[in-house]
Amino acid sequence: MNRLNRAAAAARHAAAWLLPAGRRDWAAAVWAEAHQVPPGLARLAWRAGGVWVLAREALMPRRLGRVVVFAAAAAVAAWAAWPDSSVLHADADQFGVIATVLLLAGLPLLARRFFGPVSDSRIARFLRAASYAVILALMPAVAVVAPYPLTVPQRGAELRVFIAGGNATHGMPGTSAGGPPWPGEIFFLALTACYVVVILWLTSRRSSVAPATLAAGTGAGIVFGLVMYSVAPLGLTQYASNPWLPGSQVDPLVALAWILLFGGPAAAGVLAAGWYCRRPDSIKLAQARAGQGIVAGVVANLVGALFVTVAGTGIIALTIKVARLRPLVYHAAHQSEAAAYGHVLHASEHVGTYVVMCVAFPLIGLVMSSLGVACTMPVPRQSGPQPGDGGGGPPGPEPAPDPPDGGRRAEAEADADRLLVPV
């Protein structure tokens, strides 16, 4: 019996680290109370109940739940993205799938050590979960789209369009040259790792990125992504004949997309900086304020790039896999199937542009939000008495400072140092 009690105690100690901080007292409470229970089966049953409480509180709703959801989503994504071993570069593609899943699973564990756990704010959790969902969704989409421009159609009009498009040297009909070779795969992995690390840092507790900053950046990014996607919803092609847009290159929406690409991060940066601290009264706070603004701008274009990439690549992959969809999405009065195939082929050939966007957009966001924040940076107030503060009498007690920004200034001061290091 003692052995069983010891085993139950060991199980409790092993599982205690899984508990969120607010639940550890409860686990200790069940265990402490076991000393009041008569020894024997009753005490063992009490402790078994305690282990159940641990499992219920720690494993099921929190970490285990997230792990199970991630594992299921990753398994589905990997299964859908797993390349046929008959195509060229299949080994590189298979390595890419495995490495992406390992990156997504392993980097949070590493990040937890350096950045701390995920922030408590809803927006941080949403951003982290949504980014993971986007990256997982991209895996099968890329696996479908990447080999498509190099897959020779078997017969008919599609084969003629393929050859006419200058793709005559890619092999025999029915064959595929596969996805990107090793250098492309490694670059894609490196880019994915960069995105994951940035997202993990932004949404971690130690980054001190304010929830309002994430909200401003994410909001601006979603608006930008929606507009950008509306400009070219069927991939980055020159064929804009689609059900949603007339396809004019001078469409006001195109102009709006350009404005949002450069102006969105600047606006998000100014907004986030203002929310963080309207009138900084120290250099340190001013620097932290600027850091929040810059982060908001980067988040805006990062979210926009992710949104456009997953939506664009996803719709191309859908039109490739579901041929019946093509006449619906390539909306034209007299469009043949061959012409629709040509559009899909053209779109898939240019899917690499999304990679360029994923690299360039956050950098543009960084530059534009820095400019925006710098242009609107208020001069820090000098501490101490100001001219015109009071008349001749003796100095009274210090007035209580206004609670600025929802009373977050003290917290902001404390966080300022930490924030500035990674920014």
Q: Which residues bind another protein (CB under 8 A)?
A: 23, 25-26, 28-33, 35-37, 45-50, 52-53, 56-57
Give the end-to-end CA distance of the chain in Å, rounded to a whole number. 57
Cβ atoms of residues 406 and 334 within 8 Å: no
Shortest distance in whole angstroms from residue 18 CB to another protein:
15
Cβ atoms of residues 343 and 315 within 8 Å: no
Shortest distance in whole angstroms from residue 40 CB to another protein:
15
Q: Which residues of 307-328 are buried (b: 16+ CB within 10 A; e: fewer)?
A: bbbbbbbbbbbbbbeeeeebee
> Residue 320 has what DSSP assignment?
H
Query: Nearer to another protein by C-beta: 33 or 411?
Result: 33
Nearest residue to 281 via CA among 354, 375, 380: 380
Number of residues that this document lists for the chain = 423
> Residue 209 has what DSSP assignment?
-
Shortest distance in whole angstroms from residue 60 CB to another protein:
11
Shortest distance in whole angstroms from residue 312 CB to another protein:
43
Residue with tokens 């008959």: 86
Shortest distance in whole angstroms from residue 397 CB to another protein:
34
Shortest distance in whole angstroms from residue 48 CB to another protein:
7
Query: Nearer to another protein by C-beta: 40 or 327?
Result: 40
Nearest residue to 66 via CA among 113, 133, 115: 133
In whole angstroms, give the CA distance from residue 231 to residue 226.
Answer: 9
Query: Nearer to another protein by C-beta: 36 or 386?
Result: 36
Query: Nearer to another protein by C-beta: 34 or 419?
Result: 34
> Residue 118 has what DSSP assignment?
B
Shortest distance in whole angstroms from residue 11 CB to another protein:
13
Shortest distance in whole angstroms from residue 56 CB to another protein:
6
Q: What are the DSSP E strand ranges found in 143-226?
A: none
Shortest distance in whole angstroms from residue 196 CB to another protein:
32
Query: Nearer to another protein by C-beta: 55 or 420?
Result: 55
CA diameter of the chain: 97
Cβ atoms of residues 312 and 109 within 8 Å: no
Query: Nearer to another protein by C-beta: 40 or 174?
Result: 40
Shortest distance in whole angstroms from residue 187 CB to another protein:
47
Nearest residue to 281 via CA among 404, 368, 156: 404
> Residue 149 has what DSSP assignment?
G
In whole angstroms, give the CA distance from residue 267 to residue 286.
Answer: 18
Nearest residue to 272 via CA among 417, 161, 423, 396: 423
Query: Nearer to another protein by C-beta: 46 or 148?
Result: 46
Query: Nearer to another protein by C-beta: 65 or 181?
Result: 65
Write the burial class of residue 338 (CB in 10 Å: 0-12 exposed, 13-18 middle, 19+ buried). middle
Tokens of 63: 């970490």
Query: Nearer to another protein by C-beta: 29 or 323?
Result: 29
Query: Nearer to another protein by C-beta: 29 or 255?
Result: 29
Q: Which residues of 184-211 are buried (b: 16+ CB within 10 A; e: fewer)?
A: bbeebbeebeebbbbbbbbbbebbbbbb
